[in-house]
Amino acid sequence: MKRTRTIVAVFLFSAIALVSCKKESASESEQPYTANCNGDSQAPPNGSTATATFNGKYNSSTGTFSGTLTYSGITPTGWYVQKGTTLVNGEIIASLGAVVTSPVSINIQLSASAAAELKAGNCYVNIQSAAYPSGEIRGKLVAK
């Protein structure tokens, strides 16, 4: 009986130790995001027929925001992650890098405050053009 209690105690202690030492896996630290950009989502809506899609992820372990931005019907002059809600303009919290031909690979480091806004659902992708210097198309970043 004493031996059985000892074996049970060792088993329980080992199980507790394994659970408490569990490391966060890559999939647990990575949150997928998507954004569908268009002129109707701008503030105010502008009727642009350009479109773009962002598919990516935020890695909370590294602070890296990465993904692919695919656009058509627009010649971008700049693109950003901005803080704001639907139809409300907000401040730029991260540049998505140099303007290049679609599709664009994005890999940027977010500040702690930018990451907090992203996680709270308060961010959108904004793509600017010569015709619309403050933004031709935009789309809310939504966690999948």
33 and 136 Cβ atoms separated by less than 8 Å: no
pLDDT of 99 above 90 = no
pLDDT of 123 above 70 = yes
Percent of the chain with pLDDT over 90: 72
pLDDT of 8 above 80 = no
Q: Which residue has the tokens 């789309």?
A: 139
Q: What is the pLDDT of residue 18?
A: 38
**Alpha-carbon distance 113 to 63, whole Å?**
11
pLDDT of 23 above 90 = no
Q: What is the pLDDT of residue 117?
A: 95
Q: What is the pLDDT of residue 3?
A: 55
88 and 59 Cβ atoms separated by less than 8 Å: no
Residue 91 banded pLDDT, cuts 50, 70, 90: very high
Percent of the chain with pLDDT over 70: 81
Work out the average pLDDT over 85-98: 86
Whole-number mean pLDDT of the chain?
85
Q: What is the pLDDT of residue 75?
A: 95
